[in-house]
Amino acid sequence: MEPKKISHEALKEEYFYMNHPSGLSIYVYPKKGYSSKYAIFGTNFGSINNTFKLKEQTSFTVVPDGIAHYLEHKLFESKQGDAFKLFSKTGANANAYTSFDKTAYLFSCTDNFEASLNILLDFVQSPYFTQENVEKERGIIAQEIKMYEDSPEWKSYINLLGALYQSHPVKLDIAGTVESISKITPEILYECYNTFYNLRNMALCIVGDVDYEKVFSLVDKKLEYSNPLEVTRFLPVEPHDVAKEFVSESFDIHSSIFNLGFKENMKVDSRLSTAESVYTDIILHHLSSPSCEMYKKLLEEEVINISSFSADHLEGPGYSSVVFSGESCNPQRAAEIIRNYVDKLAISGIDKETFERSKRAVYGKSMTVFNKVSDIANILMGFVFSGKNFFDYMDILDAASLEDLNSRLATELKSKYSALSVASPK
């Protein structure tokens, strides 16, 4: 089967795509002259997918929270040995991560790319779970969970999600709890692996100075046919109202850390369109810009630490929230300023000059993505699993209008559906 070339004339960028007979979606993005090569092998399976069933099953299977993250840890250990040790022999820098909606295994290298790619394809497709090695990993992950529980930045963020969401599993810690992982067995790991690590639910993205035909030929030798599986993922109906307006936890810190979230109303299992994401990015650039009146007021009243303040967007199946975060001597006042400003802005709208300036800034920042192989690969993977086209973002951004931006602004940020989480000094 011949790969399909997908190109963007204005950007002068292109990549190659193949829906391999095994079921795997493969993307090769050649970047001539780049010394670094990057590969990421991911599955559309994250921490929110804890309830599911196959077509032939009559009832849903509920697995312990943290199973996706636990599975990520365990895949690195196979009958051939520790995958990290194998990568060290090729000189590759390997890693993995689990998010709310996906799990990914990756490496970067300058030499021995083919040998490293073989290792990646081998260990991700070779699960090896025993009672002994699963039990051994339990203690390691429990220590990791406890470490994050002591992190005021992470706990404030997770506490915010628990305040924003009443039912959606995005409110749960990605790694689960010490109690939930105590219920994980080799049998449960194999069940999740066989369900979600089916190649038809996965994608491989490779970026760097590589010969795409050679890469497709190499990958072809490593893949076996995956039978089609019809998996139903259960996500509960999430009301628009937040669970709590305020939550606080004390830590051994000198200054408070806050996370203020604005929750968007989403249908079950729905995702934002590319256009909605584009307009959110433009809005957030304005709100975190030194020229923004809200930002100026936060600084004038000295209620934020300028180096730590940020505005981010969390989005996935059935959830979408804008989160402002940073250090503050007065988190409640910082939240009040932000809430008042966005409520007024939703009515007045953003003016044309501000819109054009923010749009240009987002476009410029987005263009820098094409200069880094890891950014290309990870963003491409995200677009693949959300069912969107990689190049569409730039086209929609280029054609963005002030009218559509203000229409998005009027519905996205409402203080009525916001919550504040604070990590405060003991």
**pLDDT tens, 224-271?**
999 999 999 999 999 999 999 999 999 999 999 999 999 999 999 899
Query: Do 225 and 374 share a domain, yes or no?
Result: no
**Mean pLDDT computed over every residue of the chain:** 96
Tell me the two tokens of residue 411.
């519905």
Q: Is 72 a catalytic residue?
A: yes
Q: What is the pLDDT of residue 99?
A: 98
**Helix, strand, or coil here: 38?**
strand
Give yes or no: residues 156 and 261 share one domain: no
Q: Give strand ranges (E) for 252-399.
A: 256-263, 310-316, 319-328
Residue with tokens 């850390």: 257
Lowest-pLDDT range of 79-93, 109-123, 192-206, 232-246: 79-93
- Does 271 lie in the same domain as 191? no
- Please check whether residue 362 lies inside any domain of the structure: yes
For residue 16, tell me if it sits in a domain: yes
pLDDT of res. 78: 81
pLDDT for 184 equals 97
Identify whether 121 is part of a domain.
Answer: yes
Residue 80 pLDDT greater than 80, yes or no = no
Amino acid 306: pLDDT: 87
pLDDT for the residue numbered 411: 87
Confirm if 215 and 155 have CB atoms less than 8 A apart. Answer: no
Residues 6+ apart with CB under 8 A from 151: none
Which tens digit of pLDDT belongs to each residue from 82-98?
999 999 999 999 999 99
Q: Are 33 and 85 within one domain?
A: yes
The count of domains in the chain is 2
pLDDT tens digit sequence for 21-71 = 999 999 999 999 999 999 999 999 999 999 999 998 999 999 999 999 999
Please give the average per-residue pLDDT across 380-394, as a whole number: 95
Give the integer Cα–Cα distance in Å for 211 and 203: 19
Q: Are strands 103-109 and 37-43 parallel, antiparallel or unpaired?
A: antiparallel
355 backbone dihedrals φ, ψ, rounded to 5°: -60, -50
Reported confidence tier of residue 177, pLDDT bands at 50, 70, 90: very high
H helices of 57-128, in order, are 67-75, 83-90, 113-124
| pLDDT at 2 > cutoff 90 | no
Q: Name the pLDDT band for 81 (thresholds 50, 70, 90).
A: confident
What pLDDT, on the 0 to 100 scale, is given for residue 399? 97
- The CATH number of whichever domain residue 78 belongs to comes to 3.30.830.10
Q: What is the mean pLDDT of residues 117-139?
A: 95
Of 233, 257, 290, the residue at which a domain comes to its end is 233
Q: 66-99 in b/e burial notation, b at 16+ Cβ within 10 A?
A: bbbbbbbbbbbbbeeeebeebbeebebebebbbb
Identify the burial level of 244 via C-beta atoms within 10 angstroms of its C-beta, where 0-12 means exposed, 13-18 middle and 19 or more buried: middle
Of 233, 267, 286, at which residue does a domain stop? 233
Residues paired with 322 in a beta bridge: 262, 313
- Residue 418: φ, ψ to 5°: -120, 160
CB distance 171 to 164 below 8 Å: yes
In which residue are the tokens 């934020």 written?
304
| Residue 238, domain member (yes or no) | no
* 69 in the same domain as 158: yes
Does 241 reside within a domain? no
Same domain, 46 and 25: yes
pLDDT of residue 269: 85
Q: Of 2, 13, 56, 72, which residue is the catalytic one?
A: 72
Closest CA to 376 of 8, 1, 87, 91: 8
Same domain, 153 and 254: no
Residue 172 has pLDDT above 90, yes or no: yes
Q: Which DSSP symbol is given to 79?
A: T
If pLDDT is split at 50, 70 and 90, which confidence band does 141 have?
A: very high
401 and 284 inside one domain: yes
Measure CA 127 to chain center. 24
Q: How many CB atoms lie within 10 A of CB 252?
A: 8
| pLDDT one-digit tens code per residue, 285-327 | 999 998 999 999 999 999 999 889 999 999 999 999 999 999 9
Statement: residue 118 has pLDDT above 80: yes
Question: Strand pairing of 231-233 and 103-109?
Answer: unpaired
Q: Is residue 395 part of a domain?
A: yes
What is the domain extent for residue 206? 4-233
For residues 364-375, average pLDDT: 96
Q: How far apart are CA 41 and CA 204, in angstroms?
A: 5
